[in-house]
Amino acid sequence: MSDTITTSSLAGVAEKLKPRYETSKAAMMPLLYEVQARDGYISPEAETEIAELLGVSPTEVHESVSFYPLLFEKPVGKYHIQFCHNISCSLVGAEPLIELLRKELGVGPGEVTEDGLFSYQRAECLGCCADAPVMLVNEELFGKLTEEKIRNIIEQLRAGKKPKNDTPLTETDEIEDPVLSVNFMVPNGANIKVAEQRGAYTALRKALKEMEPQKIIEEVKSAGLRGMGGAGFPAGLKWSFVPKDPTLTKYLCVNCDESEPGTCKDREIMRRDPHRLIEGAIIACRAFGAEKAYVYIRREFYHEKKVFDKAIEEARKAGYIGDNILDSGFSIDFVTHPGAGAYICGEETGLINSIEGKKGWPRIKPPFPALQGIFDKPTVVNNVETLSNIPYIINNGIDAYRRRGTEKSPGTKLFGVSGQVKRPGIFELPMGFSLRELIYGICGGMREGHLLKAVIPGGCSVPVLTADEIDVALDFESLEEGGTSLGSGGIIVMDDSVSMPWALEILERFYAHESCGQCTPCREGVMWMYKILQRMNNGRGRKGDIELLIDIANNIEGQTVCPLGAAAAWPVQAMLKKFRGEFEELIQ
């Protein structure tokens, strides 16, 4: 189902959207975007209008509108720019560029230029870290930005022209024996014809015709496929928690929120090989009996969502999605659902609430999603990359999959490398690959004249490694042993020009901004840590600050509704342990 709806009246749109979900409230997010497209922002009158159309209270609409950063409560410019100021972009000079943007436009963040043409906001990670620094102009992403490029873009837009977008395609390598990046370098790889020629949907045929659902689960279990969204939970095991009762409605939820700073891998699958994900997702649904897959795509992936929506339509036409697919008696539907700029919606239950049209507040557990997920029905949430492994496993079998990687972390993984290496990019590597080899080999080492200082190996939440600690294998167990985590495979590399208190302030600014506000330790504690760091970096460090930071972090970790609290605490704990001297210098 496409998201672009041509019916002119909002009521008509609402009626079209509602059947995609079990409750009419769930149609709120796409409907809000319709209004935002119509009015430029969401006015109180529009909130009431939507509330009436969906049969909910204006309060519920306003809770969402005020929660999500990409729902605007006041008008924005004709060209609204989101400039990433998170760690990967900051490492390669985002701040001076944002300053330039401010000067060029003559307005501050959140303001609109007098001619109504421009506005900008500082954005947290846009999920394109290997292309840093990046900005979105309305729906178009510009990467590898320089002062000159920004000036040019603004100039062109002012002149009413479409600016040239010369963002190079993210660096990647063709590797021997790939699982995930097989089609990354293939021209038109997202096209179903091309994909089919290269074997797409053969695994689906096999799974439907030759395998009992339980057998699919067993295969995936034995292959040892781990969750690639961050936690590494075995995928087959997760599916097996879903009740077998065939009378229950079940859902798959594909997590394409990809917003953990440093992580930019799912995006490549979405835009370069969407059929691999669709095929994997259908097989997963077949395995545990889901009748619908909700694909949650972060709003900033405008382009990726377009490609993916087109792929869904192609797959539908080709008979892979719909009723009784391939004459198997199995029916499956797909719904893509847009996010709205909140990192917390990557957390599986925040994501579920977001799909239901609510604020992305994570849920307390129990109940677990496997029993009560979307619309309180049994639900599996899987990451894009996790699901994209499945066609290969079904086609080639357990042993073929296990050829790569380690015993406990079999297979391959997509690593996104960002920061101050010569060649950032997205690389598929067998699990257990050496971190040193990745940085100095594949990524070409550090920028001229600089030495490696620190690496965050698994998305910005995981504990940092020092330059001396990079002789470690990139798999779940080895990194765990090394006191950190493989996380989402977003590797952020920092050189000796970087101040660790500065970097930590950027990270905590992110968590303070993204804390959903539901539970006390995270809501209050993370902002507190950020304020302390900010003060320290402003030359007003005090005795006791370091101890206080550690105490706050220790008491957030493990005390919250969802792991975001811990994710905010780990960087503080690790940085203060490994680079304490730099923080001590800030204390008078």
Residue 230 interacts with ligand FMN (CB under 6 A)?
A: yes
Give me the least distance between CB of 26 and another protein, in Å please.
Answer: 17
Prior bond of 367 cis (ω within 30°): yes
Residue 225 interacts with ligand FMN (CB under 6 A)?
A: no
The whole-angstrom separation of Cα 298 and Cα 32 is 15
Residue 229 interacts with ligand FMN (CB under 6 A)?
A: yes
Among 223, 381, 575, 586, binds ligand FMN (CB under 6 A): 381
Give me the least distance between CB of 531 and another protein, in Å please.
Answer: 4
Q: What does 524 bind: ligand SF4, ligand FMN, another protein, none (CB cut-off 5 to 8 Å by kind)?
A: another protein
The whole-angstrom separation of Cα 544 and Cα 4 is 55
Among 107, 186, 194, 231, binds ligand FMN (CB under 6 A): 231
Residue 347 interacts with ligand FMN (CB under 6 A)?
A: yes
* Positive or negative: CA dihedral 280, 354, 311, 138: negative
**Number of C-beta neighbours around residue 323 at 10 A:** 10
- Residues 432, 478: contact at Cβ < 8 Å? yes
Element (H, E) at 37: helix 28-39
CA angle centred on 165, ends 164 and 166, rounded to 5°: 110
Residues engaged in binding ligand SF4 (CB under 6 A): 344, 362, 515-519, 522-523, 560-562, 564-565
Interactions with another protein, residue window 329-388 (CB under 8 A): 342, 359, 364, 366
Give me the least distance between CB of 303 and ligand FMN, in Å please.
Answer: 18
Interactions with another protein, residue window 193-222 (CB under 8 A): none
Give me the least distance between CB of 84 and another protein, in Å please.
Answer: 18
Residue 224 interacts with ligand FMN (CB under 6 A)?
A: no
**Size of the residue set binding ligand FMN (CB under 6 A):** 24
Give me the least distance between CB of 573 and ligand SF4, in Å please.
Answer: 16
Residue 314 interacts with ligand FMN (CB under 6 A)?
A: no
Binding mask 22-61 for another protein (x = CB under 8 A): ----------------------x------------xxxx-
Residue of 75, 83, 78 lying closest to 122 (CA atoms): 83
Taking the least distance from each CB to another protein, the nearer of 81 and 527 is 527
Output Rg (C-alpha) for the chain, integer angstroms: 23
Element (H, E) at 79: strand 79-84
**DSSP characters over 496-530:** TT--HHHHHHHHHHHHHHH--S-SHHHHHHHHHHH
543-to-448, 546, 577 alpha-carbon distances in Å: 37, 8, 17
Q: What does 338 bind: ligand FMN, another protein, ligand SF4, none (CB cut-off 5 to 8 Å by kind)?
A: none
Ramachandran sector of residue 17 (left: φ over 0; alpha: ψ -120 to 50; beta: rest): alpha
The whole-angstrom separation of Cα 282 and Cα 458 is 28
Q: In a 3-state reduction of DSSP, which class is residue 578?
A: helix
Taking the least distance from each CB to ligand SF4, the nearer of 409 and 515 is 515
**Interface residue list for another protein (CB under 8 A):** 44, 57-60, 62-63, 66-69, 342, 359, 364, 366, 512-521, 523-528, 531-532, 535, 542, 544, 548, 551, 555, 558-561
